[in-house]
Structure formats: C-alpha cells, structure tokens
Amino acid sequence: MADVVEDVKTTKIQSGVLKDVFAVVKIGIVNSNLITTFTGLWLALHFTGQGFLSNLHTVFFALIGSALVIAGSCALNNFIDRDIDHLMERTKSRPTVSGSVEPKRVLWFGVLLVTIGTLSLLMTTVTAAIIGLIGMVTYVFLYTMWSKRSNTFNTVIGSISGAVPPVIGWTAVDDGFHIVPVILFLLMFLWQPPHFLALAMKRCEEYRAAGIPMLPVVHGFAMTKRQIVIWIVALLPLPFYLFSLGVPFLVIATLLNVGWLALGLAGFKMKDDIKWAKWMFIYSLNYLTILFVTMVIVTID
C-alpha cells in the first residue's frame, strides 16, 4: 500500500512539473505558431518542387527549432513580466507568480531553449536561424521589455515577432527571395492587431490595473474599434497575391476577410462592447486556423 501511495505522489509531482513547464513556455502559443511554421515550410516545398518525405530531416529541425525558440522566448517573457502578472486575472496563476518555479530557473531555461532552437534551425539554413533570432529579440526586448510598458504601439511591435514563424518555415527550405513568404508575413502581421486589440478590450480593466498602456486603456473602446476595422481592411487584398494557390483558396480567404470585416463593422452598432470583443477574438482564432490549413489542403498533390 505504501508503494502505491508513493507512486501516486510521484505521478502528481511529475504532472505538476509538466503543467508548470507548459505554462512557462505558453504551450498554446507554441502550438498555434507551429501551424503557421509548418504551412510556410509546406508551401516552400510545394513551390520549389521538392518532396515532403525526402525532406523529413528539414521538417524535423525546422519545427523543433522554431518551437524551442518560441517556447524559450515565452519563458523569458514570463521571467520579465513576473512583476505585473500578479495584477491580471489571466496571468496571476503563472508559475513565476505563484512561486512554484524559481525565476532564475525560468530565465536560464528560456536561454537554453532559444540556444538549442537556434542550433536546430542552423541545421536547415542560416537564414532560418537569423529570422528566428529576430523574432525572439523583437518579442523579448522590443515588446516585453520596452513597448508593452511604455506605449500603445506595443501591439504592432509585438506583431513582428508573431509574423516570423511562417517565414522561418519557408526559409528552412528556400532562403532565396519569394513573394509567398512575404505575403505570409504580412497576413500574420496584419492579423495580430485586431486579434490582440479584441483581447485587450476583453481584459481592459486588468491591463489598466497592471499599468499596461493598451489602446483601449489609453484611448477607449471607440478608437480601438476603428483601429480593428482598419487592420482588417488592410487584409482584404493579400489573398489575391497568392492567386497561384487557386480559386478555392481565394474564395475561402476572401469570405473569411469579408466575414471578419462585417463582424467588425457590426461593433459600431452593438451596445455590449465586451460581448462584441469576445466574438471578434473567437473569430480571429478560427480565421487563422482555417486560412493556414486551407493553404496546405489546396496544395496537396
């Protein structure tokens, strides 16, 4: 019986450690970015006429490398933000706040992950590794340490790091210039402000309490709504630069854009701003998943 109890305790401890690790690296962000990384890689193989199975080594190092760089960047973000995370409902239970993980361990864990991830990307191309580091520097230094705490432009600056995963995937296969990775970057870059501004509206009072100058905190909901719609309008022409993916993709992408714009415009008439922000946030998540999965599906030979 004592052995059984000990085994149960060990299992609970292991489960708790794994839960803390997933929280520190923000596993949800890692998983969602892997979708866009894989899409960039897949499209590079498609447009350069290379086979997927014959390039499994590249696929492995690209996905592992990008996942580790992103995870390490998120860990560093957790380490830096531990002084304000306790002020927000959605972040107050993070291991760096609750004390279940020592901050210095999170710091060195993040550095280790970024280092191993960069080395993995170097197994593909130097360009992929450099772009991965650009994403890390932008997220950790320009966003987390500077703009997030100082100005409403923080969402735009943070969008740079969130837009590099598909470019990492592409350049892991082909590091020459091509219009497709440029458009993938722009799609991700323009998608993020309306996505995160909707989240900022939902969590407005939390950001206010933490002293984070998000747009709805500083300038209110009316301006935030206008900004969201402007960013969505900017997305409208981008799918047409990917006309080589075929008519089905153009139709689906355009419908997604028009649907998002319609929902955005509806916000000017809705009285419940928070409810509208929740709808916009959910739509943005589905938008991204459907759009990038569609790119893969339409290019399956």
Q: 3-state secondary structure string, 190-218?
A: HHHHHHHHHHHHHCHHHHHHHCCCCHHHH
For residues 153 and 176, the answer to whether their CB atoms sit within 8 Å is no
Q: Where are the alpha helices (DSSP H) in 203-272?
A: 204-210, 215-235, 247-266
Residues 67 and 120: beta-carbon distance below 8 Å: no
Q: Which of 40-44, 156-160, 207-211 has the lowest mean pLDDT?
A: 207-211
Which CATH class, in words, describes the domain spanning 1-176? Answer: mainly alpha
Average confidence score pLDDT of the chain = 93
226 three-class SS = helix
- SS3 for 290? helix
Band (203; pLDDT cuts 50, 70, 90) = very high
* Residues 6 or more apart whose Cβ sits within 8 Å of residue 167: 40, 131, 181, 184, 185
Given a cut of 70, whether residue 239 has pLDDT beyond it is: yes
Percent of the chain, pLDDT > 70?
A: 95
Angle between helices 27-47 and 165-173 (to 10 degrees): 40
The average pLDDT across 48-57 equals 95
pTM exceeds 0.75, yes or no: yes
Collapsed DSSP state (helix, strand, coil) of residue 153? coil
Please determine, for residue 301, whether its predicted confidence score (pLDDT) is greater than 90: no
Each residue of 245-284: pLDDT tens digit? Answer: 999 999 999 999 999 999 999 999 999 999 999 999 999 9
pLDDT at 238 over 80: yes
Q: What residue has token string 């149960």?
A: 8
Closest CA to 295 of 223, 243, 227, 217: 243
Q: How far apart are CA 36 and CA 42, in angstroms?
A: 10
What are the pLDDT digits (tens) for 136-179?
A: 999 999 999 999 999 999 999 999 999 999 999 999 999 988 99
DSSP letter, residue 245: G
Is residue 59 within 8 A of residue 103, CB to CB? The reply is no
Output the pLDDT for position 156: 96
Mean pLDDT of 93-100: 87
Mean pLDDT, rounded, for 49-54: 94
